[in-house]
Amino acid sequence: MCGKITIIAIVMRKIFLLLCAAWVVAGCGLIDNDRFHSEELTSTGCASETKAGSSEADSKLILKHTSDGLLVTRENARMNCAIKDGGIACDVSVEGNIIKYKVHQKSEFFANCICLVKEMSSVVTGLKEGTNYTLYYWCVDEMPLTAIDFTYKKGFRMSLDTDLYKAPLIDNGDGTWSPDVPVWW
């Protein structure tokens, strides 16, 4: 009798483990791992260094239609000096007509200074001609920008002064303030 109970317990354990594995695999299907992906980002790196909190040059975001996709170029971005060691990365997702674009440093280390990155750019692919899109852009060491609406079509080019497109702050009700943008980063 003890032998049968042991065999049943082993079989039940295996069934339980198989069900757990199936649950994990099914759950992975619910998490869209392709939703956010890193884009190849080119940059000039840290062109100059200042103390945290200071700013030097006008910052621009330029969007341009190319044969490869939407060229997203940022001029004079202010980022933490830690990028000198770790570099810069870009995460992008396109869901329907929403483009979420986040530029961040690769390292988790922070320095007490700001780098001026003269230029960084990448191409967002998979957009459809003639479609209206909303871009949410955030360079993590700066305030996120407000939603930017545009129609992706041949000849499209838009240049924005990022200081004029910073997201407004909203009161969290606890003495803190947050940018009024979708929370996805």
Domain boundaries, the chain: 37-169
Residue 12 has a pLDDT of 53
State how far the Cα of 183 lies from the Cα of 20, in Å rounded to an integer. 31
pLDDT in tens, the chain (185 residues): 555 566 665 555 545 444 443 333 333 222 233 445 556 677 787 777 765 555 556 889 999 999 999 999 999 888 888 888 888 888 999 999 999 998 888 877 788 888 888 899 999 999 999 999 999 988 877 778 888 999 999 999 999 998 887 777 777 788 777 776 665 54
Q: Parallel, antiparallel, or unpaired: how do β-strands 98-105 and 131-139 relate?
A: parallel
Taking only Cα atoms into account, the Rg of the chain, rounded to an integer number of angstroms, comes to 23
State how far the Cα of 131 lies from the Cα of 100, in Å rounded to an integer. 16
Q: Parallel, antiparallel, or unpaired: how do β-strands 70-80 and 60-65 relate?
A: antiparallel
Q: For residue 60, give every residue at least 6 positions away whose Cβ sits within 8 Å of its Cβ, in sequence order, or none.
A: 74, 75, 76, 159, 160, 161, 162
Residue 22 has a pLDDT of 36
